[in-house]
């Protein structure tokens, strides 16, 4: 347990609002004079993916102005830094709230400002703008344009785009031209794929191809995927962002033992352990590594290698990868 916490780590799949801690939630509720709200205590009741999405809606009620967006981002970065995450890619959906005057632009700028204000910490932070598949292609286009613009303006803090939101809503294929456009703008693609079984949609999206896959829960043939999906991901070596607790609580995976991590890991496929929504699922990246170690019987060195290997799949350039590798090598167990 101690090793997983002290080991330098990489977090590549963390939704800002889902990562909000209990402490930050209470702080924001107090500020908004809504201390009586039970918001933060409903977490125990999450049992399905639907419940998770209900929880995000509740969090968004608190995270409704640029000040809150700044605070949440700033606190989340500090929390990851405190458990020795050395490189962090945060993702978030640009949101506007008319009642408070928050615009999407204002939202993105608040997140970037929080990232910049954390530069005294020993952690490199990048920002992925999220496309919510519930919001339609026009909004997605707008998000990609924002990402392209801020990639330059933020001096490379904005680094890519994601596809997320309720996987049972809409058709991801509608967004293919938008993601093509993102690629052309030099943005990386981290797409939630096959969270629920959907062979045709997943196959079409894989052909983009994404730089990384979020979850990929239903790629394998025995859980609603197919050999074609499995082989495509495997031969193209598309890295998987795997979130153990999130999948088990959201019930897209029955239990840790049956998590698809083991199958891909055994094939030597690039796997990155991530938290997804550490606030909503009440976890930390260190705990996720511990769960992997315990469930799949991984030695301390194997755990270190998993963390070290994640560096290959970050969206930042080679110089940052080299810098991280040197740092991580110093921590290699004997």
Give the residue numbers marked as catalytic: 195
167 is a site residue for ligand 5GP (CB under 6 A): yes
Kindly tell me which of 103 and 323 has the beta carbon lying closer to ligand 5GP: 103
Give the span between the Cα atoms of 44 and 196, in whole angstroms. 23
Provide the greatest CA pair distance for the chain: 57
**Per-position x/- string for 53-92, each x denoting binding to ligand 5GP as judged by CB under 6 A, each - no binding:** ---x-----------------------------------x
Residue among 9, 15, 86, 212 that touches ligand 5GP (CB under 6 A): 15
DSSP state of 169: S
Under the phi-then-psi rule, with left for phi > 0, alpha for psi from -120 to 50, and beta for the rest, what region is 297?
Answer: left
Binding residues among 213-272 for ligand 5GP as defined by CB under 6 A: 246
Which residue in this structure is represented by tokens 């999206």?
Answer: 205
Q: Are 94 and 146 in contact (CB under 8 A)?
A: yes
- Interface segment toward ligand 5GP; rule CB under 6 A; list 11-19, 25-33, 102-110, 181-189: 11-19
Angle formed at CA 132 by CA 134 and CA 264, multiple of 5 degrees: 110
End-to-end CA separation in angstroms for the chain: 17
Closest by CA position to 272, among listed 9, 82, 18: 9
Shortest spacing between CB 330 and ligand 5GP, in angstroms: 33
164 is a site residue for ligand 5GP (CB under 6 A): yes
Tokens of 35: 């201390």
21 is a site residue for ligand 5GP (CB under 6 A): no
Under the phi-then-psi rule, with left for phi > 0, alpha for psi from -120 to 50, and beta for the rest, what region is 33?
Answer: left
Instruction: Count CB-CB contacts under 10 A for residue 113.
Output: 16
43 is a site residue for ligand 5GP (CB under 6 A): no
195 is a site residue for ligand 5GP (CB under 6 A): yes
- Interface segment toward ligand 5GP; rule CB under 6 A; list 13-21, 26-34, 222-230, 292-300: 13-21
Tokens of 192: 């939630």
- Interface segment toward ligand 5GP; rule CB under 6 A; list 15-23, 35-43, 112-120, 293-301: 15-23
Kindly tell me which of 194 and 233 has the beta carbon lying closer to ligand 5GP: 194
Shortest spacing between CB 157 and ligand 5GP, in angstroms: 16
Residue among 89, 132, 201, 287 that touches ligand 5GP (CB under 6 A): 132
Tokens of 256: 């840790």
**Binding region for ligand 5GP (CB under 6 A):** 15-18, 56, 92-93, 130, 132, 164-165, 167, 192, 195, 246, 276-277
């Amino acid at each position: 347990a101690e090793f997983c916490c002290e080991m330098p780590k990489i977090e590549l799949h963390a939704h800002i609002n889902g990562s909000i801690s209990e402490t930050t939630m209470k702080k924001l509720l107090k500020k908004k004079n809504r201390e009586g709200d039970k918001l933060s205590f409903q977490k125990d009741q999450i049992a399905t993916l639907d419940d998770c999405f209900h929880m995000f809606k509740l969090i968004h009620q608190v995270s409704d102005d640029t000040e809150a967006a700044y605070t949440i981002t700033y606190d989340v970065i500090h929390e990851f830094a405190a458990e020795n995450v050395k490189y962090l890619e945060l993702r978030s959906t640009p949101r506007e709230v008319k009642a408070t005057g928050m615009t999407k632009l204002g939202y993105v700028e608040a997140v970037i400002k929080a990232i910049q204000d954390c530069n005294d910490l020993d952690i490199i932070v990048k920002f992925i703008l999220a496309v919510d598949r519930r919001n339609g292609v026009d909004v997605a286009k707008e998000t990609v344009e924002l990402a392209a613009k801020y990639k330059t303006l933020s001096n490379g803090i904005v680094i890519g785009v994601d596809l997320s939101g309720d996987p049972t809503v809409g058709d991801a294929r509608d967004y293919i031209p938008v993601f093509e456009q993102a690629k052309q703008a030099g943005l990386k693609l981290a797409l939630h794929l096959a969270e629920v079984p959907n062979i045709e949609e997943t196959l079409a999206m894989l052909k983009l191809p994404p730089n990384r896959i979020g979850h990929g829960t239903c790629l394998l043939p025995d859980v609603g995927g197919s050999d074609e999906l499995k082989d495509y991901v495997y031969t193209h070596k598309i890295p998987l962002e795997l979130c153990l607790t999130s999948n088990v609580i959201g019930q897209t995976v029955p239990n840790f033992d049956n998590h698809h991590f083991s199958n891909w890991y055994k094939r030597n496929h690039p796997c990155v352990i991530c938290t997804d929504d550490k606030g909503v699922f009440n976890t930390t990246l260190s705990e996720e590594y511990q769960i992997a170690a315990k469930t799949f019987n991984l030695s301390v060195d194997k755990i270190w290698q998993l963390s070290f290997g994640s560096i290959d799949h970050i969206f930042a350039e080679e110089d940052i990868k080299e810098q991280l590798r040197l740092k991580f090598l110093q921590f290699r167990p004997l």
